[in-house]
A and B are shown apart, each in its own frame.
Chain A
């Protein structure tokens, strides 16, 4: 067959052109070789952290509904990553982090003040 790259004649069973190395579209098994454009051009993006542990700890210890918001964002991180929406997953990751932190600060500061007040009151 004729190589589409260099135009020279190859054996009909050749997988690639014996002159220029270009893959030939037809091979003896009738299966097209993988086109170069189909191969991933870049390594897959790393999965953004979903901060799920922080979200669960915030839900259990901080007694605020905000921990559940962080869990929902953690689910969105993985859901968007699974569907290939990397930018969306990155944004949900930031939201999960932020809501986990807000929940922990709003929950723990009053609790710490309460514990200090009880201990101080007991000492007086």
Chain B
């Protein structure tokens, strides 16, 4: 039991440090200006934007407080980022505190909605039509 608890602390610590390190790199250097950031393999091969294209640049803008710029780089990432941050913290507390911590439950219909939204977003952001060009990464 004690080893299990220690292992959970180590896991949560490593993931937290990795997240902070990743966010620090994304805040320090703008992915739009530096080439060492990994490029999207799907975009490189096909020339089409994937649902995640623009996420790194959007995170850079969010960490500098520019949420509008982030939204136009990747609206999906900008909208789910606060939810993911909350989920990460709640899950970390749950893992460390055992069964006493809080636990989120998202009903299945909302996850289905998310899945359909991601697929629709993927298709729409590649359309060269007027309202949808704002879904593509606009730096």
Contacts and interface: CB of A to CB of B under 8 A. Distances in A.
A81 B36 CA distance: 43
Interface residues of B, number: 33
Given A71-B115, A118-B35, A63 B40 contact: yes
A63 B88 contact: no
Contacts of A53: 84, 87-88, 91
Interface in A45-62: 47, 50, 52-53, 56-57, 59-62
A11 interface: no
Contacts of B50: 63-65
Interface of A: 47, 50, 52-53, 56-57, 59-65, 67-68, 71-72, 74-79, 81-82, 107, 110-112, 114-115, 118-119, 122
B112 A63 contact: no
B70 interface: no
Quick one: which of B87, B91, B111 has the most chain A CB within 10 A? Answer: B111
A76 B76 CA distance: 22
Contact of B111 (A61, A67, A75, A111): A75
Nearest to B35: A118
Nearest to A75: B111
Contacts of A111: 38-39, 41
B107 interface: yes
Contacts of A71: 111, 114-115, 118
A6 B112 CA distance: 55
12 contacts: A50-B111, A52-B87, A53-B88, A53-B91, A59-B52, A60-B77, A60-B80, A63-B53, A64-B42, A68-B115, A81-B108, A82-B108
Contacts of A63: 40-43, 50, 52-53
A3 B119 CA distance: 64
A114 B38 contact: yes
Given A53-B91, A110-B41, A60 B115 contact: no
